[in-house]
Structure formats: structure tokens, C-alpha cells
A = this chain, B = another copy of it.
Amino acid sequence: PAYAQNPQQYPTLILTPDGVAAIKATLGNAPLLTSSFQETKQSTDALMSAGINVHMPKDAGGGFTHEQHKRNYKAMHQAGILFQVTGEDKYLQYVKNMLNAYAKLYPTLGLHPERKEQSPGKLFWQSLNDCVWLVYTIQAYDAVKGQLSQQEIQNIEKNLFYPAARFLSEESAETFDKIHNHGTWAVAAVGMTGYVLNDKKLVQQALYGLDEKGTGGFMAQLDQLFSPDGYYTEGPYYQRYALMPFVVFAQAIANNEPQRKIFSYRDNILLKAINTALQLTYDMKFFPFNDALKEKDLRSVELVYGTNIAYAHTQDKRLLSIAEKQGEVILSAEGVQVAKALDNKEVQPFNFTSMELRDGAKGNEGAVGVLRSGIQDKDEALVMKYSSQGMGHGHFDKLTWLFYDNGSEIIQDYGAARYLNVEAKYGGHYLPENKTWAKQTVSHNTVLVNEQSHFGGNYDLGMKSFPTSRFFDVSNKDVQVMSAEIKEVYPGVNFTRTMAMLRDEAFDNPIILDVFEINAKDSQQQYDLPLYYQGQLINTNFDVQNNSSQLKAVGQKNGYEHLWQVAQGKLPAGTVQVTWLNGDRFYTYSTIGSENAEMLFTRIGANDPNFNLRNEPGLMLRKKGNAGQTVFVSVLEPHGEFNAKDEYTTQASSQIKSLRLQEQDGAKIIWIETMNGDLRAFTLATNPAVKSKHNIKTQSGKLNWVGPYHYFKLKK
């Protein structure tokens, strides 16, 4: 007996009486609010025109009853908002009738006939969907409860909301108390129900777990599911998804118990998590590492909530630029604030920035490093992934990288193999190829030893291991460098990767330097370093044998069986280069050839009987290595312009004349000589200590520096 004491206080969750007043006062003025309202009204009216359809649950995900119960909660939620804003009786009646229908149905339900074994639902095949249903439906009830008779209230709460809350808490104890995003949906649903039902115990359980002791529940999830930098271990795609119940429940807490200062909790962890989700994007699209569908972007509803609510709590005008691209706001006080600020032209560019996002609840399980050349949509972004495995949706992709430039994906992570909600594609589930290809190391831009995935593809081993950041230094915007290492990726094999984004007048655009060191106990190893470029191959500076009349797969297993070997070439000693065209810009990948090194040219799509994979190109550097250290040094260089409109092409070939590696006095020196006669040296000390001093004499002069690395401009 608790929170909202009288009808005037409803609604009390996300929409509030103040929010309703603000929406009414703003409609017709701020365009984004008005259009969002109109769209909601249109879609709700369309849904309502089909009448009340509350069916006995029968179908699995994607099936009719599944989709109908989804439509129902969406329709109820929206109708509740519309009732509050317009006062129109038809919306009230619709919600009331639907809730009554559910109150009649719910007590008759056992577990869903198509239930998933681990966490069965009642309305849906898995309890996760029931939680989502409740999160939305309790908001609909919240919107109309003030208009209901005591008898109606008693019927609906007794027969629907209490049983549903009980089912999703006590009766699904394991999920409810789990520190996992499914658990967050459960505690959000139950906690929000607690507020509307004035039931303090439900709220306490939601916050502190079934036993109310804090080992489970929302606060523990806030403590453990995000790193201190607001990074969610499963990666950006699931960070987006996980955010929804966090943000919605937190806003409900803020509205009902402001004294909890939930958004300030753990050094503003939720606001950090929202910001981190926004930062882990390029041109609105999430960096698609781990299981991730590339078509998802910042327009998704979770980030509309996230951006609107973060803006209301911070008044950070840079968030408005995201909201502007989202093109809609939520119908609440927060959405009104965003729409009004945009209408007042208060928008500022979002502060996309270079940052290292630590992984792990304590921030000590590796990180994701992001280097950016600027804050514009078309600027470069380099991502190196040296975070932990990322639970069940993680990929075996230690120290992989992704690169974006000129508005496009240039070096890709494949993402997940899945067509969400497309029945014909394995029921819309993750495809078998997600396991055989997308999760395997060979589908990533990192080294494989002897054609095996990292940790032998063993999940438990992967979960136990994580890389360590050696250094991440973006203090000089022209020379941004990150370095990470991981031990025992394979028995007796350690990796160290250092990547730099170097802005230099010798080049059209910042170049990317990549130094991948492998230290192995055993000899006779084969090292493969794939590179999944996007674009049309233009040329190579070495001979390539094309398998013109017959293609075979590169290998037999661990994902190699999904790669067609289109061509191959031995790498001559010296600088070897491959150039491709993406949009109106050229990209040259330069690396160092040697005896026993070759390059394979691949295309994804072998052993894909159901056409599930995208048939995209790749390169693969292959080297024989002996015991000790083997190094891959390469540079990716965006250059020139292919201008179709005005029919000219500039700088279609690389500026790099030579790329060389020299090892001396405890450091690696990467020499870059340009066509114009510039000479550059990137030095990388074996000792990463910030204060270590280095003085190396070379034929091109003395290289003196302090710290783990330095970038020398020696000529011109």
C-alpha cells in the first residue's frame, strides 16, 4: 500500500499527468511531437478496427496467436496514451474491453503448448514475451485505471495482473533472479505492475530480488550487467535490446520514487549505457560485432526511449541530433521536451568521439576501442574488439577490427546469420550458418592458427579468457593508437595487436596501421589473417592466379568450408598491395610479402545449401610461422575520388611506395615511404610503459621517444 493513492495520480509509469498536459499544450506546435502523435493514432485506429481478438495461446514465435498477442499489447498501450491525450471514450472502452478479455482468459491458462523448455510462458512460448507483454499492458492499465470502477479494478487485478506478476516472479524464479537481460524484462514488468497496483512488495522484489536481499533484482542488474563505462557485454546490438526494460523501469521508478535518484545510481550508469549505445554506431548503424542484425539502427524504439529519457535527465543538446534522425519522439513529458527543443533549433551535433569502453562489471575484462577521425557522419571510425566473449551471443573474434569511412562500411564484421521474423529462413531463428560461419573466427578480421577458431571454438574456454588493454592513447588527435593482448588463444599462442589512426599531410585521409604479433611456442604453424573488405576489387601489385573455371572451398571446417577460394597468389618480398573501390573512394591495403606467405581471395557462400549467406568478398593473408614471433604489418589507406557525375578520377593508386618492418633495440619500427618521398616511422616498443625511454639509431637518423610508441615524420 504505497504509491499512486488516488485516480488523479494516474497514469504514473512513463506517461504522467504532467506529461499529458505537456502533450496537449504542445500538439500542433512542435512538428516531431505532432507527427509522432498522428502516427500513433493512425496505427492504433488501424489496429482497433480489427476489434478485440484475445485468443487461446497456440502458436510458437511468428505464428498467428503469437503475433496477435503482440499486436494486442501494442494496441492497448497506444490506446491508453491516446485516451489520456484525447479523452476519447473509444480508446478507454477498447483498453477496458481488451483487459477484461485477458482477465477472463488468463486464469484458464497453463503453460504455453509450444513452450520452450528453459523458460516457458503462458501467453507466449517463452516467458520473455510474457514479460514484454506485461511491460506494455500495465502501462495501458495505468492509463485507464483512474476511470475504472472498484469492481472493474478488482476483476482485472485479481484475475490478470496479480497472476501475471506472480507467474513472472515467484513462478519463474530462476529467470526473475537472473542477472541477465531476460531478468531485466521480468523485474521491469513486475516492478511496474507493483507501482500501478500499489503493491510495495512487488516493487521491492523487482528492485532487490525475490528474497528482497539484493542478490537479484534491478539494482544488482544495474551493478553487474554494465561495465563502469556503460558497456553491455553482449555487444551493441544486444545493448540496444537490453536497454529497453532498464530505461522504462528506471523512468517509472523516477516518476514514483524520485528519492531513489535511479538515474544517478552507480555514477549515472544508465545514462552512460545510453550514451555508449549511441557511441557504438556509425551513420546510425550499430557496430555489428557478436550476434547482430545489420539492418537495426538507432531508429529502433529502444533508442528512441533512451535518447528522449536521457535528454530529459541531462538536457544535453547533442542528443537532439540523434532524435532528429530518429524522426519520432515518445508520447510523454520527455518526448515533448525533445520535440520542443528541436522546434527551437537547439540541436547540436552528437559528440561521437574516440573512446575505450571497458568490459566486465568491474571493467577489467578487456574493452572495445573506438578511434574516430572526427564527429561527422562521413569521418573514419576504427573499432578494435578486445572485449570478453560476450556470453551466448559472442563470437570467437578476439582482437578483430571493423572500419568505416565516407559513410560506408569498409572492413566488415559479418554480423549474425539470421533473417528475423522470416518464417522461411529457419523460422526466423538464428540460422545454422550462424554457428558454422558467423561465430567462427574465420569470418573475422583476426588471426587463426592452423585453421582453428579461437579457443578451439569452445564456449566455456572463451568465457574464461579475455584480452587486456595494453594502452589506449587518443591524446593526440592526429596519432591515435590502441593496443591489446591476449594469452593462450590457442595452446601456447599469445596475440598482441596494435592499431593506429594516423592523420598525416602525406595522405589524402587518415590511414590505419595494423601490427599483429603472434608469439607461439610451437613451430610449423599456419597463420591466417582474413580481411573482409566491402567494394569492387580494382587491382593488385602482384600476380594472382584466378580459379577461373572451377571453385572449391578454402577448407573443410571451422567456417573455412563456407569460403570459396576465388584466387590466390604468392606474396613476393617487399610491399604487396590490393586496391578496391567503395562508392567514390579507393582503398589500398598494403602489407609485407615474404617467402612462405600468400594471399587468398575468397567469397562467402560455399556449402550454403539454403542460400542463407551473403556472398561477399574477402582476402586472407596466409603465412607459415615457426616458434617465436610472427608479425603481420599492414596499412589501410583510403584515397582518391571516383567521380561519376563529373567523370574524373583522382589518386586511384596508393601513396605508399614501401612498407617495411625493422626490429631493433626492443622496438619495432614500421617504415612507410611515400611516392612523394616522404618518410615516416612508427615505432612500437616491446615495453608498453608510459615512461620508458627509447633511443634508436637508424640509417635514417636517431629515433628518440618516451612511451610505448611514436610516429616520426622524417622527411618533408
Contact surface of A with B, Cβ cutoff 8 Å? 62, 67, 70, 293, 295-297, 299-301, 419-425, 428, 536-539, 544, 546, 548-553, 561, 564, 566-567, 579, 581, 601, 603, 605-611, 614-615, 617, 642, 644-649, 652-653
Instruction: Please judge, given known A-B contacts A295-B644, A538-B419, A649-B428, whether A552 and B550 are in contact too, CB under 8 Å.
Output: yes
CA distance A420 to B648 in the complex (A): 8
CA distance A551 to B566 in the complex (A): 10
- In the complex, chain B residues whose CB is within 8 Å of the CB of A421: 642, 647-649, 652
Q: How many angstroms from the CA of A293 to the CA of B614 in the assembled complex?
A: 24
State A652–B652 Cα separation when bound (angstroms): 43
Say whether, besides A299-B645, A552-B549, A606-B549, A424 and B617 are in contact (CB < 8 Å): no
Given contacts A552-B549, A609-B548, contact A538 B424 (CB under 8 A): yes
Chain B proximity of A406: nearest CB distance (Å) = 15
User: Could you tell me the distance between the alpha carbons of A281 and B234 in the complex, rounded to whole angstroms?
Assistant: 45
A-B contact list, 5 entries, CB within 8 Å: A299-B645, A419-B581, A422-B642, A423-B653, A548-B606
Q: Which residues of B contact A609 (CB under 8 A)?
A: 544, 546, 548
**Chain multiplicity (copies):** 2
Contact (A548, B293) CB under 8 Å given A301-B646, A652-B422: no
Q: Once the chains bind, are B581 and A603 in contact (CB under 8 Å)?
A: no
Known: A296-B644, A422-B652. A611 touches B551 (CB 8 A): no
Is the pair A424, B579 in contact by a Cβ cutoff of 8 Å? yes
Q: A549-B552, A647-B421 in contact; A536/B611 too (CB < 8 A)? A: yes
* Chain B positions within 8 Å of A564 at CB level: 551
Most buried by B among A67, A300, A423, A549: A549
Q: A425-B538, A536-B611, A615-B603 are in contact. Are A647 and B549 (CB under 8 A)?
A: no
> Could you tell me if A653 and B603 are in contact, using CB atoms closer than 8 angstroms?
no
Q: How far is the CB of A614 from chain B (nearest CB, A)?
A: 7
What residue in chain B is nearest A653 (Cβ atoms)? B424
Give the nearest-CB partner of A561 in chain B.
B549
Chain B residues positioned under 8 Å from A561 (CB to CB): 549
Give Cα distance in the complex from A607 to B547, angstroms: 8
Residues of B with C-beta under 8 A to A425: 538-539
A305 and B652 CA atoms in complex are apart in Å by 29
Residue of B nearest to A540 (CB): B611
**Residues of B contacting A642 with CB < 8 Å?**
419, 421-422
Chain B neighbourhood of A608, CB < 8 A: 546, 548
A557 to B421, CA, bound (A): 42
